[in-house]
Amino acid sequence: MTKDRRSRAWYGKLDKDGFIHRSWMKNQGFPDDVFDGRPIIGICNTWSELTPCNSGLRDLAEGVKRGVWEAGGFPVEFPVMSLGETQMKPTAMLFRNLLAMDVEESIRAYGIDGVVLLGGCDKTTPGQLMGAASVDLPSIVVSSGPMLNGKWQGKDIGSGTDVWKFSEAVRAGDMTLQDFMNAESGMSRSKGVCMTMGTASTMASLVEAMGMSLPTNAALPAVDARRMALAHLTGKRIVEMVEEDLKPSDILTKEAFENAILANAAVGGSTNAVVHLLALAGRVGVDLSLDDFEIGREIPLLVNCMPSGKYLMEDFCYAGGMPVVLKELADKGHLRSAKSVLGGDIAAYAEGAECYNSDVIKSYDDPVKPAAGLMVLRGNLAPNGAIVKPSAATERLLEHEGEAYVFESIEDLKANIDREDLPVTPDTILVLKGCGPKGYPGMPEVGNMPIPRKLVTQGVRDMIRVSDARMSGTAFGTVVLHVSPEAQAGGTLALVKTGDRIKVSGSQGILELLVDDAELQARRDAWHPDDPHYTRGYAKLYIDHVLQADKGADLDFLVGKDTRPVTRESH
């Protein structure tokens, strides 16, 4: 007897509508029997030549299809918007929510029973998960996988992380422009995502820690044949998940998010994980706030990968990958009980995991750094919170009071950062406004402002920087990010003036503008937001509806889910 599955409402009817749905699919050469009631599996693909990190996903889709066919399902691949982090202006983050809408509406509108999410580059993973979570059909992730280690002049070089270092070295006169140009080809040697623990590998690691992919998905290099095998196995597994009706809402529980927060600390993961986890939690109705990130504070840094350490994702894979990290957390009682896509507890991912290089994945008792979890700072400068990544920061700067030097916009920064007469010292706190969700718009990765040239030439490589922006997961430094509310929304950040004193205390969780209330009120009375550059289309929709960083920067009307069946037909 044919199961009454979702896809039957498209392909199981014997009327005009069923004819239309089946007949047009048959133009691809599918025989009658694929419509016999077997599970129909959507393969949601963010492949694009403009998203180089996802350029291997067409191959992986073929692996998924093999597995789906083998398990008795019918695979159908469909494209969704792709977000190339390094290629899009003003920032790919502006479009994460648009991808999520595309994914959600595609899944809902088509006659599929389950979905495999093929993503990788920074915003594609969270965008796909957010969309899938809002429909809540059985879903599983296959990631692009990281590029092979970068190589240049006999050394390993890391995506992003070494770009920031080389760029500062050129500005300081320590590297020739020719060498800088030559390093380009050595950095990106294969398909795949950034091979540092940037946002893409962070999100893939957290997806694995949350049990939304098969084990080892995060670290297997993009071009490793075992990733193709993993895609095949994922195709088999999604067919079983449909039969078991195992949905994202069964997996993405509060405990799963806590595992993600703990794992993010252990891998030295990206600050971007904060906005993505908060947004995803909003979709599945899990009550997650910035305060929940405190559970990661005391977790040590175990994974010795750039930008917090020295190795790269290929090394992490060969050392054992995420199962080893999960085992270290589990052995210390830090892994919460939560269900994975395999149907059992996530603890099964850690069972039998062995570390093959204890310098790449350190033990809990002999870590790369102690207490690596993200710090949440609050105070009058960020009443709703700001974050800093201590594992990538200079320790002494995490307790600091200094004078602000304010850039009113990214254009102001670019025009003046290299001025020899810029009135800054290594103790100055650089402040950048207008780079939050509404302000840029899209909250770009410009929070790790360059060090002013007059200081970089003196050897200064880190200063406190404060903004409402994000920073690349591959970046480093004592960078206070995601200040909420942002300047463009009227946050206190908008009122800071050059010469004001700012206090930062990581140990006390403080970000305070040391200006009295009366003066601040006078400045507030005189303040008005900048006129938006975008006045139509998606960007206007985004500016009008985006939530602040502490809420995940989702659009207000996308929070939550809608799992009701679609009943009306097109003809």
Q: Which residues bind ligand FES (CB under 6 A)?
A: 53, 85-86, 121-122, 159, 193-194, 198, 200
Number of Cα atoms under 13 Å in the Cβ half of residue 454: 12
User: With left for phi above 0 and alpha for psi between -120 and 50, is residue 431 left, alpha or beta?
Assistant: beta
Assess contact for 259 and 210: CB atoms under 8 A. yes
Q: Structure tokens of 494? A: 């908008």
C-alpha 386/C-alpha 376 separation (Å) is: 6
Kindly state the smallest distance separating residue 196's Cβ from ligand FES, in Å.
8
Q: Structure tokens of 507? A: 């140990």
Kindly state the smallest distance separating residue 181's Cβ from ligand FES, in Å.
19
Q: In this complex, which beta carbon is closest to ligand FES, that of residue 85 or of residue 468?
A: 85
Kindly state the smallest distance separating residue 375's Cβ from ligand FES, in Å.
24
C-alpha 207/C-alpha 215 separation (Å) is: 10
C-alpha 435/C-alpha 410 separation (Å) is: 8
Q: In this complex, which beta carbon is closest to ligand FES, that of residue 122 or of residue 258?
A: 122
Assess contact for 46 and 124: CB atoms under 8 A. yes
Assess contact for 434 and 349: CB atoms under 8 A. no
Assess contact for 128 and 119: CB atoms under 8 A. yes
Kindly state the smallest distance separating residue 120's Cβ from ligand FES, in Å.
6
- In sequence order, the 6+-apart residues with CB closer than 8 A to the CB of 483 are 381, 382, 386, 436, 466, 467, 468, 491, 493, 511, 549
Q: In this complex, which beta carbon is closest to ligand FES, that of residue 187 or of residue 493?
A: 187
Kindly state the smallest distance separating residue 458's Cβ from ligand FES, in Å.
31
Closest CA to 323 of 349, 358, 299, 356: 349
Kindly state the smallest distance separating residue 148's Cβ from ligand FES, in Å.
14
Kindly state the smallest distance separating residue 228's Cβ from ligand FES, in Å.
20
Kindly state the smallest distance separating residue 122's Cβ from ligand FES, in Å.
5
Q: In this complex, which beta carbon is closest to ligand FES, that of residue 77 or of residue 122?
A: 122
Q: In this complex, which beta carbon is closest to ligand FES, that of residue 122 or of residue 250?
A: 122
Q: In this complex, which beta carbon is closest to ligand FES, that of residue 68 or of residue 275?
A: 275
Strands (DSSP E) along 399-451, which ranges?
A: 399-407, 429-432
For residue 230, the surrounding DSSP H or E stretch is helix 225-244
C-alpha 556/C-alpha 405 separation (Å) is: 34
Q: In this complex, which beta carbon is closest to ligand FES, that of residue 53 or of residue 329?
A: 53
Three-state secondary structure call for residue 188: coil
Q: In this complex, which beta carbon is closest to ligand FES, that of residue 198 or of residue 437?
A: 198
Kindly state the smallest distance separating residue 218's Cβ from ligand FES, in Å.
13
Whether the bond between 307 and the residue before it is cis, its omega within 30 degrees of 0, is yes
Q: In this complex, which beta carbon is closest to ligand FES, that of residue 51 or of residue 428?
A: 51
Q: Strand 375-379 relative to strand 150-152: parallel, antiparallel, unpaired?
A: unpaired
Kindly state the smallest distance separating residue 191's Cβ from ligand FES, in Å.
11
Q: In this complex, which beta carbon is closest to ligand FES, that of residue 92 or of residue 261?
A: 92
Please, what's the b/e burial string for 162-197 (b: 16 or more CB within 10 A of its CB; e: otherwise)?
A: bbbbbebbbbbeebeeeeeeebeebbbebbbbbbbb
Kindly state the smallest distance separating residue 121's Cβ from ligand FES, in Å.
3
Q: In this complex, which beta carbon is closest to ligand FES, that of residue 202 or of residue 484?
A: 202
